Chain A
Amino acid sequence: MAQVVVVTSGKGGVGKTTTTAALGAALAQSGQRVAVVDFDVGLRNLDLVLGAERRVVYDLIYVAQGNVKLSQALIRDKRLETLYLLAASQTRDKDALTDEGVEKVMSELRSSFDWIICDSPAGIERGATLAMRHADVAVVVTNPEVSSVRDSDRIVGLLDAKTDKAARGERMEKHLLLTRYDPVRAGRGDMLNVDDVIDILSLPLLGIIPESEEVLRASNLGSPVTISNPKSPPARAYGDAAQRLMGADVPMVFPTDRSGLFGKLFGRRAA
C-alpha cells in the first residue's frame, strides 16, 4: 500500500528539500516506486535540487485543476527509473491549489506509487497544511538550533490537528530527522546535542544527518547526495533513514568527530 510522507519543519532553510530529494532517491535506489511532490508554490526548488529544472513543463497545479493528466506532469529521473518528480508552479498564484484538487492528485499518486514524498513549504500557512493533509507519516526536519526546534514543535501540533489522519482520530506517525548536526560543536556544548532535541520534541529519531560539504556539493550538481556521493556520511545517514522508513531495524550511527583522539576514543554507535 502506498505511503504518503510529508517532509516538514516550520522553519525555512533547515533542509526539507534536500531531505525530500535524498530520501526519495534512497527509496528509489532500493527499488521502490517513488513520487516526490513539491508543494512550495511560487518558490519551487525540488526540481533544481534533483537537476530536472529544465524539464518541467506541467506542474502540480495543472494536474490539480484537471488541465493535464498526471502522467504528463510527472518527470522521470534520468538516473533512477523508479523516481518521479511532480514540480510546483513557479508563476501561478498559490490559491490556485484547491483542497479538492490536491486530494484528487494524491489519490491518483497513491494508486501508482509505493511512496509519495511531499516537500512542504516553510511556515504554518495553507501551503504547509495542504502538504501535510494527506500524509500517513511525517518527517520533521530540525536543526540543532533554538528557532528550528521551536518551529518543529509548532508543526508537531499542526500534524496532530490539521491532517486527515488526525480528523479520523488516528495517530499521525511522526519522526525526527536532525540535520546539519556538528558533532564537534555538540561535543563542546556549543550546540544542542541529539538527546537534547529528542527530549525536547519527544519524537522518535529517524536519523542524524551530519553537517557536510557534500550536501551543498550535491545541490550544486543537481543530484541527491545519495547519488552524487553514496559513500559520504550524509548519504549513508539518508540511506539508513530511508531503510527505517521502510521498517528496517538499522542501528543509528551517531556522527563523531573523527579528526581528534577524543572523538576516536569516545565516538559512539547506538545499539
Chain B
Amino acid sequence: MNWFMPFGRRKSASVARERLQILLTHERGAEDHEDLIPILREEVLAAVTKHVLVDVDKVQVKIERGKAVSLLEIDIELPCDAKPAKRCAAARRTARSQRIAVQQAH
C-alpha cells in the first residue's frame, strides 16, 4: 500500500490503520496494567519468601508512568532477624531498598 501518493494526498485508510495501531497498542497496555501491581506484588513476595521471611506489609510495589519511560519500584524491607540468619548482615547492607527501572515502550 502506498503511503504517499504521487500527487500529494495520502490515502485515508492507511492513516486510519496507523492511528488505530498506535491507539490500540496503548489501550491494550492500559488494560493489562490494571492487574499488574497486585500480580507483581504477589509474585515478588513469593520469590523473596522462598529465601527470606519478610513481613507482607513491608512490600511496596508501585509504578510511575512517564512519557518515554515508566519506573517500576519495588521496596522490600527485610528484618535483620530474617532467615537464614547468616544472610542477615548482607541483606541489611544491600537490600534495604531495591529499585528496578523497567523500560517500557509507549
Question: Can you name the residue of chain A whose Cβ is closest to the Cβ of B34?
Answer: A161
User: Which one of A154, A190, A200 lies within 8 Å of B20 (CB-CB)?
Assistant: A200
**From A145, A188, A200, residue with most partner B Cβ within 10 Å:** A200
Residues of A near B20 (CB, < 8 A) are: 146, 149-150, 200
Number of A-B pairs, beta carbon distance below 8 Å:
40
A196 at the interface (CB under 8 A from B): yes
How many B residues face the partner with a CB closer than 8 A?
A: 16
Shortest distance from the beta carbon of B33 to any chain A beta carbon, whole Å: 13
Render B15-26 as a binary contact track against A, CB cut-off 8 A, 1 for contact: 011011101100
Q: Are A192 and B13 in contact (CB under 8 A)?
A: yes
Give CA–CA (A189, B3) in the complex, Å: 10
B28 at the interface (CB under 8 A from A): yes
Residues of A near B31 (CB, < 8 A) are: 157
Which DSSP category, helix, strand, loop or mixed, fits chain A's interface?
A: helix
B97 at the interface (CB under 8 A from A): no
Tell me whether A190 and B11 are in contact in the complex, defined as CB-CB below 8 angstroms, given that A146-B19, A157-B31, A200-B17 are known contacts. Answer: yes
Shortest distance from the beta carbon of B26 to any chain A beta carbon, whole Å: 11
Q: Are B23 and A150 in contact (CB under 8 A)?
A: yes
Residues of A near B21 (CB, < 8 A) are: 200
Residues of A near B2 (CB, < 8 A) are: 189
B94 at the interface (CB under 8 A from A): no
B27 at the interface (CB under 8 A from A): yes
Q: Are A153 and B14 in contact (CB under 8 A)?
A: no
**From B1, B17, B31, residue with most partner A Cβ within 10 Å:** B17
Which DSSP category, helix, strand, loop or mixed, fits chain B's interface?
A: helix
B12 at the interface (CB under 8 A from A): yes
Tell me whether A157 and B28 are in contact in the complex, defined as CB-CB below 8 angstroms, given that A189-B1, A200-B20 are known contacts. Answer: yes
Residues of B near A199 (CB, < 8 A) are: 17
Shortest distance from the beta carbon of A211 to any chain B beta carbon, whole Å: 15
A191 at the interface (CB under 8 A from B): yes
Q: Are A190 and B12 in contact (CB under 8 A)?
A: yes
A229 at the interface (CB under 8 A from B): no
Residues of B near A186 (CB, < 8 A) are: 13
User: Which one of A188, A190, A196 lies within 8 Å of B17 (CB-CB)?
Assistant: A196
Q: Are B28 and A192 in contact (CB under 8 A)?
A: no
Docked complex: A61-77 residues within 8 A CB-CB of B: none
Shortest distance from the beta carbon of A227 to any chain B beta carbon, whole Å: 34
Residues of B near A191 (CB, < 8 A) are: 13
Give CA–CA (A221, B1) in the complex, Å: 41
Residues of B near A32 (CB, < 8 A) are: none
Q: What is B's interface to A at a CB cutoff of 8 Å?
A: 1-2, 11-14, 16-17, 19-21, 23-24, 27-28, 31
Q: What is A's interface to B at a CB cutoff of 8 Å?
A: 145-146, 149-150, 153-154, 157, 186, 188-193, 196, 199-200
A-B contact pairs, 21 of them (CB 8 A): A145-B16, A146-B16, A146-B19, A146-B20, A149-B24, A150-B24, A153-B24, A153-B27, A154-B27, A186-B13, A188-B11, A190-B12, A190-B13, A191-B13, A192-B16, A196-B13, A196-B17, A200-B17, A200-B20, A200-B21, A200-B24
